[in-house]
């Protein structure tokens, strides 16, 4: 990729790419919600759960590492050893919620945003 060249990616494809990276790192219950009809602050949510706090950070890092390849960086800054159980990555049009499983169950964002349409995640998402 040439220096200074910006890659444009459709927001739905970005959300699906993030979901694919999360699944490749063994994230559980990965869902993509189309937020366009229910919110004005983003187009898509990607919500996922991890079995441990260590995995939460590993999945976050994998997502950030993958997207930096196409010159996309999160607007949110997260400590590399975050132990909150809920990391939010803000890619402007796509907001990613990386949860420790018990924290996800407690907050249940997909129930809170139940009016949002779920997007089918293909079994093989191309990057």
pLDDT of residue 124: 67
If pLDDT is split at 50, 70 and 90, which confidence band does 72 have? very high
- pLDDT of residue 22 exceeding 50: yes
Picking from 51-65, 71-85, 104-118, which range would have the lowest pLDDT averaged per residue?
A: 71-85
Distance (Å, whole) CA 14 – CA 34: 12
- pLDDT of 2 higher than 60: no
Tell me the residue ranges of DSSP E strands in 13-123: 28-34, 44-50, 86-90, 94-100, 117-119
Average pLDDT over residues 20-33: 97
Regarding the domain with residue range 11-118, which homologous superfamily does it belong to in the CATH classification?
Beta Polymerase, domain 2 (3.30.460.10)
Is the pLDDT at 4 greater than 50? The verdict is no
CB 109 within 8 A of CB 97: yes
Percent over 90 (pLDDT), the chain: 81
Q: What is this structure's pTM?
A: 0.87
Q: Average pLDDT in the 101-118 region?
A: 95
Task: Determine the average pLDDT of the residues in 74-81.
Answer: 84
Q: How confident is the model at residue 58 (pLDDT cuts 50, 70, 90)?
A: very high
């Amino acid at each position: 990729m040439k220096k200074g060249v910006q890659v444009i990616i459709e927001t739905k494809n970005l959300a699906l790419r993030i979901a694919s990276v999360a699944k490749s790192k063994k994230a559980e219950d990965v869902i993509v919600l189309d937020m366009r009809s229910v919110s004005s602050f983003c187009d898509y949510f990607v919500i996922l759960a991890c079995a441990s706090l260590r995995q939460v950070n590993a999945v976050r890092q994998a997502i950030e590492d993958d997207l930096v390849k196409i010159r996309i960086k999160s607007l949110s800054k997260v400590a590399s050893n975050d132990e909150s159980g809920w990391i939010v990555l803000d890619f402007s049009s796509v907001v990613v919620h990386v949860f420790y499983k018990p924290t996800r169950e407690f907050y249940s964002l997909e129930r809170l945003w139940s009016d949002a349409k779920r997007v089918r995640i293909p079994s093989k998402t191309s990057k």
